[in-house]
Amino acid sequence: MKLTHLAKIMGDIELLSGLHIGSGNNEMHIGGTDNPVIKNPITQEPYIPGSSIKGKMRSLLEWRAGVVALTDGKPLGFAHMERLASDQKDVGKTLLKLFGGAPEGSNQDQKLVAEIGPTRLAFWDCSLKRQWVTAMREKNLLLTETKMENTIDRIRGVAEHPRNTERVPASALFDFQLTLKIHDGEDLLTTVLTGLRLLELSGLGGSGSRGYGKLRFLSLTLDGDSLQTRLEQTQP
């Protein structure tokens, strides 16, 4: 197995609705929100963790492949391959090549491990585009919004249990970057584009059922050449 190329996929992520990816901060601050978004600890600007994109994209592709029930809801790993039907094995190998598989002891199929090789995709954290940050500050606008929510008593029609959630607002732009290792001239790009289209259709982050996290990829390129048209023509 030989590394023949290291491809770089770049573009922008535009939010079409507010995005919430939680920070895991359980402390309550006076005047703060109950549920803050994750922020860069130095700049205090929100960002999209590469791990969030990887996890959601992998999950969507595994649902699409029909393997989630066979893995008991866990990420597809080497130990699950023997459970896959014959028509699922190729896509299973592709997913392991792209996203990797956790070591599962000496009982795993070493021949399969050697065939799969190293993880091909590397996901990078996505920072806010400087142009968007500058535009917000010139308008004296914040980089996040606080969305108030509650539940409604069906009988009395009264709002109950008010809560607030911090979101990155719609229109925000992020720098997107992905690297793809190519071994022996293999072609895994179609699966990558399918995963990106599934992300556009399903959203990212929390509270997707309430309209959060709708996004789209813009100006996508592969090693400097436009990939946008191929992405838009991909039918996931």
Q: Is residue 142 part of a domain?
A: yes
| Structural domain range at position 206 | 3-48+119-233
What is the C-alpha separation between 197 and 121, in angstroms, rounded?
A: 16
Task: Tell me: pLDDT of 107 over 80.
Answer: no
Q: What is the pLDDT of residue 20?
A: 93
The values of phi and psi at residue 130, to 5°, are -65, -35
Task: Tell me: pLDDT of 171 over 50.
Answer: yes
Alpha carbon 231 to its chain centroid, in Å, reads 16
Question: b/e string for 44-63 if b means 16 or more Cβ within 10 A?
Answer: eebbbebebbbebbbbbbbe
Q: Is residue 70 part of a domain?
A: no
Q: Is residue 124 part of a domain?
A: yes
Q: What is the pLDDT of residue 196?
A: 97
Mean pLDDT (the chain) is 89
Tens of pLDDT, residues 134-152: 999 999 999 999 988 777 8
Q: Is residue 187 part of a domain?
A: yes
Q: Is residue 158 part of a domain?
A: yes
Q: Is residue 170 part of a domain?
A: yes
For residue 34, name the pLDDT band (cuts at 50, 70, 90). Answer: low
Q: Is residue 61 part of a domain?
A: no
Task: Tell me: pLDDT of 49 over 80.
Answer: yes
The total of structural domains in the chain comes to 1
Mean pLDDT of 118-128: 95
Q: Is residue 63 part of a domain?
A: no
What is the C-alpha separation between 225 and 219, in angstroms, rounded?
A: 10
